[in-house]
Amino acid sequence: MATISDVASAAGVSPATVSRVFNGGRVTADRAQRVRKAAADLGFSPNRVARSLRTQRASVIGLLVPDVEDPFFASLARGVEDTALRNSLSVVLCNTDDDVEKERRYLDVALAEQMAGVIVAAASRTRTDLSGLVARGMPVVAVDRRPRAAEVDAVTVDDRHGAEDAAVHLLERGYERVACIAGPAGTSTSEDRLAGYRSAMRDAGASDEQIHDRTRHGDFRVEGGHAAMRELLALPERPDAVFVANNLMALGALQALLEAGVEPPAFGVLSFGDLPWASLVRPPLTTVQLPSYDLGTSAAELLQDRLAGSGKPLQTVVLRTVLRVRESTQGPVPHA
């Protein structure tokens, strides 16, 4: 069976020229005549050009994440890629930096390039807009973060209960003034984790004013955690523990504590999101372990089901967290 390359070789032109001839591109009359003669001699059907392009695009999916340098999203991306490859799909990875405008441009590219589907960790609960993809019938799976109004499949983590368990753990270990470094307002994971922290503190008798005073918002990055921890340490009634809503901000918080001469576990530190080095720091860091790789594999499997023509109702898969207790939350005083 003749290919575009065979036609190009017989006509003495490039494969791109063959594609332009059969797709209405600008080509000289002489070259067009040579291409059409070569195609006829070889029995090449022009329709194969368009079909070939469609096939290539149908094997590519887009993955939009806030920051692939974050170990959580790196692991999630690996889960997507491993599953996609098993299904003969290639993955185009895009960093949105939690920028809704940058995210929109990537979504427009996915439409323009006729990708097979998209997996997206939404930059905003309210402003991420997936309606254009949905209207065009493109399969979309929201992963980790879910836009409020999007009618798409989703794979998420039970962030609220995971955060509530974390705050309860700190209280049970004897810490009395538990602070929270939350993520940026407007992202579903940040809001859900903050809600879990607030619920635990209210159940323990903390007033809304106390909860507000002990809460700071970061940007899910090291610098944000560092700045927020410095503000908390400067409070007139300084906290004696902190729940940090993601792993990179926890690193920044630990840096700020070190600079202030404050050491865990006298000051409790608990991170939402495990880190490869969590058990290696001194003292080892207590974390809420997230199933990051499983989030990626589940999202890719859902997308593959849609690509295979699944007519099931939209699905939301919710994965559980696991609290990994280590010495950073041992308590302000020894426990029996």
Rounded to 5 degrees, φ, ψ at 48 are: -70, -25
The yes-or-no verdict on residue 311 having pLDDT over 70 is yes
Pick left, alpha or beta for residue 24 (phi over 0 → left; psi -120 to 50 → alpha; otherwise beta): left
The yes-or-no verdict on residue 309 having pLDDT over 60 is yes
Mean of pLDDT over the chain: 88
Query: CA nearest 271: which of 171, 162, 195?
Result: 162
Residue 279 pLDDT class (50, 70, 90 cuts): confident
Question: What does the alpha-carbon distance between residue 208 and residue 190 come to, in Å, rounded to a whole number?
Answer: 18
Condensed to tens digits (0 to 9), the pLDDT of residues 159-211 reads: 999 999 999 999 999 999 999 999 998 888 899 999 999 999 999 999 999 99
| pTM to 2 decimal places | 0.76
The yes-or-no verdict on residue 50 having pLDDT over 60 is no
Question: What does the alpha-carbon distance between residue 324 and residue 273 come to, in Å, rounded to a whole number?
Answer: 10
Tokens of 32: 């067009």
Tokens of 157: 């983590």
- Please name every residue paired with 63 in a beta bridge, in sequence order, or none if there are none: 93, 119
